[in-house]
């Protein structure tokens, strides 16, 4: 529903706002992230099937993209599974919604996000987004603005991955096929409990 509504309104929103990897021996991901100690976390093996089913890709492709994030950041405390639409004409916008699932939590929590982008392309797209969450001990800390980490964008197995960081919390959004152009943009993303149509 989000995708159809946002794609239908994308022209108006735009008017307002004016890497491959080689296989290698599997490293040991048994340690928690260095950013978080004594917190219940997800193992790579727990997330491979979830990620593969979510994107409709092979377990091998899912394992490849998770390998990079786990190697850089360790084991996440949670993930956000959702979808987003974005569009750009030099300056662009992004809107998304999904569910935050924390390791050991009894239920998921609805999350919305939005933000501006600046890039070298034009047009619109829609993508599924699976975001690994690191060092989040208080869910309230998620609801803020997350700038992208410079130089963090990369492509693995047809999936685009970037890092966002604020106040010690790190997010690693993984986007599917039609969202790959996100790697050509820079900007920030604001997460909230309620939907907002204001991208700034």
The pLDDT tens digits for 125-138 are 678 999 999 999 99
CA dist 117 → 2, 17, 97, 148 (Å) = 19, 10, 17, 10
Q: Which is higher by pLDDT, 158 or 4?
A: 158
- The mean pLDDT value for 51-67 works out to 91
110: CATH: 2.40.128.480
DSSP label of 178: G
- Total domains present in the chain: 1
Residue 198 lies in a domain: no
HSE-CB at 37 with a 13 A cutoff on CA atoms is 1
User: Residue 14 above 60 pLDDT?
Assistant: no
Provide, rounded to the nearest whole percent, the portion of the chain with pLDDT above 70: 64
Residue 175 lies in a domain: yes
Residue 200 lies in a domain: no
User: Residue 76 above 70 pLDDT?
Assistant: yes
User: Residue 29 above 50 pLDDT?
Assistant: no
User: Residue 71 above 80 pLDDT?
Assistant: yes
Q: How confident is the model at residue 150 (pLDDT cuts 50, 70, 90)?
A: low
Q: What pLDDT was estimated at residue 90?
A: 61
Residues 6 or more apart in contact with residue 96 via CB below 8 angstroms: 2, 82, 83, 84, 85, 112, 113, 114, 129
| Distance between CA atoms of residues 87 and 6, nearest Å | 10
């Amino acid at each position: 529903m989000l995708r159809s509504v946002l794609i239908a309104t994308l022209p108006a929103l735009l008017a307002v706002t004016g890497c491959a990897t080689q296989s290698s021996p599997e490293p040991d991901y048994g340690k928690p992230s260095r950013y978080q100690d004594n917190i219940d976390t997800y193992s790579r093996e727990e997330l491979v099937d979830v990620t593969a089913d979510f994107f409709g890709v092979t377990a091998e492709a899912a394992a490849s993209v998770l390998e990079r994030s786990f190697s850089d950041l360790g084991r996440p405390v949670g993930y956000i599974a959702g979808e987003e639409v974005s569009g750009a004409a030099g300056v662009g916008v992004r809107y998304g919604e999904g569910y935050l699932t924390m390791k050991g939590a009894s239920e998921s929590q609805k999350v919305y996000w939005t933000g501006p982008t600046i890039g070298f392309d034009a047009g619109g797209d829609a993508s599924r987004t699976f975001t690994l969450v690191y060092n989040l001990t208080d869910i309230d800390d998620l609801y803020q603005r997350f700038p992208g980490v410079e130089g963090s964008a990369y492509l693995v197995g047809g999936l685009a991955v970037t890092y966002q960081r604020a106040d010690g919390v790190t997010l690693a959004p993984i986007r599917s096929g039609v969202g790959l152009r996100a790697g050509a943009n820079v900007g920030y993303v604001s997460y909230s409990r309620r939907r907002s149509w204001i991208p700034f």
